Amino acid sequence: MRGWVRSVVAGVLALGVAVLAGCGSAAEPASGGEGGGSGEQPAQVSKLEEIKRRGYLIVGVKADVPGFGYLNPETNMYEGYEIDLAKKIAEEIFKVPGQVKFEPVTAKTRIGLLQSGQIDMIIATVTVTEQRKQEVDFSPVYYTDGIQLLVKKDSGITGLKDLDGKTIGVAQGATTRARLEEKAKELGVTPKFAEFPDYPSILAALQAGRVDAFSVDGAILKGYQMQDPSTVILPEKYSEEPYAIATRQGDDDLRDLVAQVITRMQESGELQKLQEKWGLTGQ
Amino acid sequence: MFDLEDWLTLLRDWRYFAEGLGQTVKASGLALLLALGIGVVVGVLSVAPWRPVRGLTRVYVEFFQNTPLVVHAFFLYYGLPHLGISLPVLAVGVLALGVYTGAYISEVIRAGIQSIHRGQLEAAYSQGFTYLQAMRYIILPQAFRVVMPPLTNQMVNLIKNSAVLAMIAGDELMYRADGWSSYNFLYRQAYTAVALLYLCLTLPLATVARRLEQRLLGRESREVPL
């Protein structure tokens, strides 16, 4: 009997220690100002300085969203509107092109990676929300999208109102679910939700009949609709999703530089041109 | 600094995690029954005096022990519907976990049977028992005592492996933690809490296994004549 008690106590203690250690290390960078996290550098080094010393910019991008951030399997290169934006910003910092490294992120991983300093910024279809503003800094908006539904053509579904009791596949950590729940309540329907770690899983779930609709921002859906011609994007939009570049709170010099670049590209019409280049203008 | 407020947020949402825990217990419990059933049948057949049957049990054990559980779960979840068979996600979980763990349990049972002296089987035959009768009434009751500790370890593994269901929207503990944490940005709190909840399920089992093992060792040493 005593052995039983002892092993439980030991297990709980071990975990407790791990938790406390975790708390300690997480609290340190916050109290030490905006140090990059590595103890070697003096705490005063700004983010921009840190990036320049490193010699390249690390940007969290989507690898599975054609038109925005997509790792083209044929060339093994990242391409898309957001990739072009990242290249512009890197060029602004280093005055020469090509000093940028892309790190693939998902809706679930991106904020954590930014906060832990593993990436310098996120340009990965991040919707600006009040809640996220508490966690990260945002640049001016570079694209506005809306949540839409992708369904099978032969399903007969024409909008959210047809999805009462049916299942909608969404991405973990995305705002999609909360927005759709609001809209569904207004319409008086109660759909079920299934969350998946990435978009290809949701498309696979739709194809397998596991979910009746795949929902995320329209521009992201477009790429998947093209992959599977038996599906169709429904025209109704259920939200306004303003996309902006996220930087870590405290990295003020980097945030300001990013804001400058986006504002300038907006005014010169360069943003519009890039959107046309990637086919993102057809609403 | 201890972020009390974040932990309180987690406590406030305890019901969300409790429901996930319930689903984990349900999936693991049903899968365990399936795994034990498969394990005993396949274990007995894997030492049967019929060569083709032994061969078939080998194929089953080698296939499921040497391919990832995730692959089985994805096949059942995404693959089968294209053949017109769409199992609910709980059934996918029970089937994947049960058949996978069944392969391990059958090996445990086989080892247990082989640890019983051959004379027992011969004695049973001489009394007119068939192979299956001898197993049922003579060999398995003795083997079961020996295999209890490793069997319990397999139960622990099954519970831990049930976290794979999070990848196919299984709505169990790990899935709930994923969803909750990425919505609230409280990853450390969420995953610490689920680790503790998994421990609540597995630690008692692991401890029972150790106690059974100790009792077994104790009894055997007492059985050694002076």
Write out pLDDT tens, residues B28-87. Answer: 999 999 999 999 999 999 999 999 999 999 999 999 999 999 999 999 999 999 999 999
Q: Tell me the chain A residues in contact with residue B23 when contact means C-beta distances shorter than 8 Å.
A: none
Q: Which residues of A touch B (CB under 8 A)?
A: 3-4, 7-8, 11-12, 15, 18-19, 22-23, 26-27, 31, 107-108, 111-112, 135, 169, 172-173, 194-197, 201, 204-205, 207-210
Strand, coil or helix: A280: coil
Domain boundary assignment for chain A:
47-144+243-277, 147-239
Among chain B residues, the shortest Cα distance to A196 is held by B169
Among chain B residues, the shortest Cα distance to A22 is held by B188
A213, A219, A225, A226: CA torsion to nearest 10 = -170
Residue of A1, A2, A5, A7 to mutate, interface with B, max B Cβ within 10 Å: A7
Among chain A residues, the shortest Cα distance to B194 is held by A15
Quick one: pLDDT at residue B134? 93
Please tell us whether the domain made up of A47-144+243-277 is placed in CATH 1.10.150.240.
no
Quick one: pLDDT at residue A223? 84
Quick one: pLDDT at residue A280? 83
Please tell us whether the domain made up of A147-239 is placed in CATH 3.20.20.210.
no
pLDDT band at B144, cuts 50/70/90? confident
Strand, coil or helix: A171: strand
* Residue A172: both structure tokens together: 């973990």
Domains and CATH numbers, chain B: 4-219 (1.10.3720.10)
What backbone torsions phi and psi does residue A173 show, to the nearest 5 degrees?
80, -5
Bridge partner residues of B142 (DSSP): none
pLDDT per residue as tens digits for the range A239-259:
988 999 999 999 999 999 999
Comparing A47-144+243-277 with A147-239, is the CATH topology the same? yes
Residue of A8, A152, A172 to mutate, interface with B, max B Cβ within 10 Å: A172
Share of chain B above pLDDT 90, in %: 78
Q: Tell me the chain A residues in contact with residue B207 when contact means C-beta distances shorter than 8 Å.
A: 3-4, 7-8
Quick one: pLDDT at residue A167? 96
Show Cβ contacts of residue A91 under 8 Å, excluding neighbours closer than 6 positions.
A97, A99
DSSP state, residue A127 = B
Q: Which run of H or E residues covers position A217? A: strand A213-217
Quick one: pLDDT at residue A6? 61
pLDDT per residue as tens digits for the range A126-161:
999 999 999 999 999 999 999 999 999 999 999 999
Instruction: Count other C-beta atoms under 10 Å from residue B25's C-beta.
Output: 15
pLDDT per residue as tens digits for the range A62-98:
998 888 999 999 999 999 999 999 999 999 999 999 9
Position of tokens 């999703």?
A241
Among chain B residues, the shortest Cα distance to A198 is held by B167
Position of tokens 């969290």?
A60
Contact check, Cβ <8 Å, B79/A209: no
Of residues A29, A173, A283, A260, the one with CA closest to residue B190: A173
Quick one: pLDDT at residue B223? 53
Contact check, Cβ <8 Å, B210/A195: no
pLDDT per residue as tens digits for the range B161-209:
999 999 999 999 999 999 898 888 888 999 999 999 999 999 999 898 8
**Complex ipTM:** 0.75
Please check the confidence at residue A52 and state whether its pLDDT lies above 60. Answer: yes
* Residue A11: both structure tokens together: 């297990």
What is the b/e burial string over A64-85, where b = at least 16 CB atoms within 10 angstroms of the residue's CB? bbbbbbbbeeeeeebbbbbbbb
Please check the confidence at residue A45 and state whether its pLDDT lies above 90. Answer: no
B86 vs A22, A27, A209: nearest CB: A209
